[in-house]
Amino acid sequence: MSLSLSTTYSPHTAVQDSTAALVRLTSGGSPVDCGQTVDAGSLLPVSFTAPTGSEYLIEVVASSSSAIPFTNGRCTGKRLDNNVGSVTVPPDGTITIRAAWSTSRSAAIFKSPDCVYTVMPSQGCEAGLYLDSGECVSCPTYSTSPAQSTSADACQCLAGYTSSSGSCQACPAGSYKPTVGSEACSPCPTGSFSTLTAASSSSACVACRSTCAEGEKEIVACSATTNRVCIPANCSKCEMGQFLTDCNVTASHAGTCVQCSPCALGQYRDGCAGMSAGECKACPTSTETSEGGCSVADQVCVPIVKSVPTINFDVTVLIQLAIVLIDFTSDLQAHFIHAVALTAETLDSNVMIVSMDASSG
């Protein structure tokens, strides 16, 4: 919007300076005076009231670039045509905001004085945070960002987590992801397995045992999530979540299936299958033991989700009723309790009359 004073732009008459309408950036609902500083990264609405019956344009130009895009802007995104929007303050330099208006095609064009602001550079946010409207905001769960990040787009999934449906999800058992980013989880190499979720290293993948020996039978195959399990050919095959005891090969005793034992919170049972009870191992950092029965890996470590505590509190309210105490029958009391419960949006059982006192006046 390069308008020179006294210059005529057909079909309008000459351009004139005017203070009849001033344009400003605003913060907290109040105009920011020209010459003041504005924080880098903040989103500031534009304040401008055009004279009655006029058409107008608003433009914001930064010293570090040709123009600043408006929120809801039109005219190539750097000007607003009969619309007042908001501006995202650039990282540094200055901002100049101006307006021009006219009441008709043959009338003069009026131009407001340029209003110049100095940008206060951001001190920067720590890793795991990003700048949003001048404040450092935490990245979403299971994601992080480099220091000095200025957008949520800088937040990337942690190692062991991958992007799925707009959030970071733990790599499932049988896979791993060693880097920060949106890459997919890599499956364990053929011939190895892992029972851990959110694995961040290929070391989570352990080589399956070799093929079953002569006189043995395979009851669990080697897969990305299970180790190969072999037992003597005459022994029983137990259900998932059980292991075999007392299998006597020479006496042809098929053995007894025993339920796998759960581990303590923060641990998982590894290798409970075949003729092995397995062993308890610690879950990786930022995971915990999930609920449920045991399997080849008795318990599976899952990401910790912090629960919101339930807060209960009692409220005592003094209510004065214009009624004789003796007339406040049990039936009326029940109706009164129901009315209070409806008002408080709770159950009748949560409301009680603590005491009743007769008073004069």
- 275 Cβ neighbours under 8 A, 6+ residues apart: 231, 235, 243, 244, 245, 247, 255
Domain co-membership, 287 together with 327: no
Whether 138 is in a domain gets the answer yes
Q: How far apart are CA 125 and CA 104, in angstroms?
A: 49
pLDDT at 185: 96
pLDDT at 174: 94
What is the mean predicted confidence (pLDDT) over 2-24? 80
Domain co-membership, 57 together with 110: yes
Domain co-membership, 266 together with 296: yes
Whether 300 is in a domain gets the answer yes
Domain co-membership, 238 together with 181: no
Whether 114 is in a domain gets the answer yes
> What total of structural domains would you count in the chain?
4
Structural domain ending residue among the three candidates 120, 151, 171: 120
Domain co-membership, 325 together with 261: no
pLDDT at 252: 65
- 340 Cβ neighbours under 8 A, 6+ residues apart: 317, 351
Confidence of residue 72 (pLDDT cuts 50, 70, 90): very low
Structural domain ending residue among the three candidates 70, 102, 120: 120
Residues of the domain holding 97 = 13-120
Q: How far apart are CA 301 and CA 69, in angstroms?
A: 47
Domain co-membership, 353 together with 324: yes
Q: What is the pLDDT of residues 213-222, one digit of tens each?
A: 888 888 889 9
Domain co-membership, 295 together with 255: yes
Confidence of residue 285 (pLDDT cuts 50, 70, 90): low
Structural domain ending residue among the three candidates 143, 158, 187: 187
What is the mean predicted confidence (pLDDT) over 119-145? 86
Mean confidence (pLDDT) of the chain: 79
Domain co-membership, 261 together with 208: yes
Q: What is the pLDDT of residues 159-176, one digit of tens each?
A: 999 998 889 999 999 999
Whether 7 is in a domain gets the answer no
Whether 2 is in a domain gets the answer no
Whether 283 is in a domain gets the answer yes
Q: What is the pLDDT of residues 302-338, one digit of tens each?
A: 444 444 444 555 667 677 776 777 777 877 777 777 7
Domain co-membership, 107 together with 168: no
Whether 50 is in a domain gets the answer yes
Confidence of residue 79 (pLDDT cuts 50, 70, 90): low
pLDDT at 175: 95
Q: Hey, is 328 helix, strand or coil? A: coil
Domain co-membership, 300 together with 332: no
Domain co-membership, 133 together with 211: no
Q: What is the pLDDT of residues 190-201, one digit of tens each?
A: 999 998 889 999
Q: What letter does residue 248 receive in the DSSP assignment?
A: B
Name residue 312's amino acid. N
Domain co-membership, 43 together with 59: yes
